[in-house]
Amino acid sequence: MTPVTVRRWAWIHKWSSLVCTVFMLLLCLTGLPLIYHHEIDHLLGNAIEAPKMAPDTPKADLDTVIAAAKARYPNKLVMYMSQEADEREIWYLTMGDHPTDEAFKSVAVDARTAQVLAEPSFEGTFLGVMFHLHVDLYAGLWGKLFLGFMGLLLVVAIISGVVLYAPFMRKLEFGEVRRERGPRVKWLDLHNMLGIVTLTWALVVGATGMINTWADLLVKYWQATEMAEMTAPYKDMALPSKLGSMQKAMDNAVAAEPGMQVAFVAFPGTAFSSPHHYGIFMHGAEALTSRLYKPVLIDAQTSEITDRRALPWYLTALLVSQPLHFGDYGGAWMQFLWAMLDIATIFVLGSGLYLWLKRGVQAKAPARKEGDAAVEISREPAFAAEGEAR
């Protein structure tokens, strides 16, 4: 690699790293508690648990479950209802003044007794704050897209760092830390070593995080294309005056998709349905298929199926990327691995910022002897400076 090429890659690495580092540190710090969000909920006493009953206790009629939630908020509409894959004893219902209300209320209802268990609150809680800082910086779609751009810069920084790492390590053993060369060189070697160790994880998490920031745009495109096609026959019809039975709609959806389970239900007028339909989203029971949804559209008046089809490839790619980003598909050991790699990445980002700041301070100091200048006050990025100094 020629010196000019090295300098070009070094410039790319320096500025892509500098621009995204602070935000990547924020994402790593806020992502750490989100890895253990279930455990933290239990620790803080925010977890909702259904009463212990026999495993074969029959489920309550869904229309009764909905009625229990509406009794709590009689003037609100049901927007969504959902169940966790490993917690089929509770229905979570989202209720608002209109189908797209962002100031919604949540109600947890026992799926067997149709009794209201709690009104879970997410906004304003510790995990709620961590979630918003991690996902959208409290800035909605624009915040997501901004963080997506930071993720793109992280990917560029990782790739350029790998390109620079090869010539830098030609005369060093893998993982060697030169403690005798002073604190700055030691920090540089630790930065490089952990950067390579966490390379694949950081690249996967950065890339999948960037993809996740496009979720709102991908869903809007799906609504304007496939959802519009699925609901086209209802385009000019009057809005339903009365909603049909949810239990009948659910029975029809489950019968049409044997072996699948209900993930969530979107009520008429919400983002995942039409003004004329229930959108019942099914998923499989296996590790991979549990992440992939299949929408079944139900006529909201007759409770009969009108269309069902697999999601397009771009939404499938989005759904597959999410477990890779969150590390929530392999149990406690996978969570621990993701947490350790997250902490290592925090060190890589923090040490990179330290090295840049330290170099800036040293650059203002009186010139030292020529032999030290290449290492101590070089204006080139750390990778290039150290590589050439060797």
Q: State the Cα torsion 84-86-91-94 to the nearest 10°.
A: -10
User: What Cα–Cα distance (Å) separates residue 388 from each residue in 169, 170, 178, 235?
Assistant: 11, 11, 16, 67
**Collapsing DSSP states into helix, strand and coil, what is residue 50?**
coil
Per-residue pLDDT averaged across 280-286, rounded?
87
Residue 292's pLDDT band (cuts 50, 70, 90)? confident
232 alpha carbon, distance to own chain's centre:
32
317: phi then psi, degrees, rounded to nearest 5: -60, -40
Name the strand (E) or helix (H) holding 297: strand 293-299
Backbone angles phi, psi at 251, to 5 degrees: -60, -40
Q: What is the pLDDT of residues 118-151, one digit of tens each?
A: 998 888 889 999 999 999 999 989 999 999 999 9
Residue 300 in contact with residue 243, Cβ under 8 Å?
yes
Supply 360's token pair.
């800036």
Complete DSSP assignment for 84-112: ETTEEEEEEEEEESSTT-SS-EEEEEETT
Q: How confident is the model at residue 239, as a pLDDT?
A: 87
Say whether pTM exceeds 0.85: no
Among residues 82, 79, 76, the alpha carbon closest in space to that of 109 is found at 82
Rounded CA-CA distance 14/20 in Å is 10
Tokens for 167, please give them: 């010539």
**Dihedral angle sign, alpha carbons of residues 234, 236, 237, 243:** positive
The average confidence (pLDDT) of the chain is 83
The DSSP line for 126-148 is HHHHHHHHHHTTTSHHHHHHHHH
* pLDDT in the model for residue 337: 87
**Tens digits of per-residue pLDDT, 202-219?**
888 889 999 999 999 999
What is the rounded CA–CA span in Å between residue 104 and residue 100? Answer: 9
pLDDT digits (tens, 9 = 90+) for 102-124: 889 999 999 999 999 999 888 88
Residue 220 has pLDDT above 80, yes or no: yes
Contact between 267 and 275 (Cβ < 8 Å): no
> In this predicted model, which residue has the larger pLDDT, 91 or 84?
91
Q: Which of 145-149, 199-203, 327-331, 345-349 has the lowest mean pLDDT?
A: 327-331
Q: Where are the alpha helices (DSSP H) in the chain?
A: 3-35, 37-43, 62-72, 126-135, 140-168, 183-197, 199-212, 215-222, 228-230, 246-256, 313-326, 331-363, 370-376, 382-389
Domain ranges of the chain: 3-38+131-213+332-389, 71-124+223-326
**Is-contact 226 312, C-beta < 8 A?**
yes
> CA quadruple 216, 233, 281, 278: dihedral positive or negative?
positive
Q: How far apart are CA 47 and CA 215, in angstroms?
A: 27
Q: Considering only residues 373 and 361, tell me which one the structure prediction assigns the higher pLDDT.
A: 361
pLDDT at 379 over 50: no
Which residues have C-beta within 8 Å of that of residue 220, sequence separation ≥ 6?
none
Q: Return d(Cα 360, Cα 122) in angstroms, integer.
A: 43
Tell me the C-alpha distance between 311 and 81, whole Å: 20
